[in-house]
Amino acid sequence: MINSDLNPEFINSFLDYSAVVLNKSINSVKEYSYDLNMFFKYMKIHFKLTKETDFNKIYIRDFDLQTVKKITTNDINAFLSYLALSMRK
């Protein structure tokens, strides 16, 4: 189950759009939610918006669109690199 109370509204809007307009399965929407949560938790660390490093303790509800607009291709590549390295462990 997706805990939408922990998401910023823009994520919830995307998930609703994916389910209703794009007719994605509930499993796809859950995976989108999981992936977006991981991405934005990483971005909080990457942008030094939190001192916490345990992903389970990072909340993204306060992530705003102004900060989203600051995300660059380099930031996305840093996240992909993080994922690739964490998969090797």
The burial class, CB within 10 Å (0-12 / 13-18 / 19+), for 67 is middle
Residue 7 CA to residue 35 CA, distance in Å, equals 12
- For residue 13, count other CB atoms closer than 10 A to its CB: 11
Report the alpha-carbon angle 55-84-61, nearest 5. Answer: 30
Looking at the 3D structure of the chain, how many domains does it have? 1
Give the domain range for residue 79. Answer: 4-87
> What does the pLDDT profile of the chain (89 residues) look like in tens digits?
688 899 999 999 999 999 999 999 999 999 999 999 999 999 999 999 999 999 999 999 999 999 999 999 999 999 999 999 988 86
- The pTM assigned to this predicted structure is 0.92
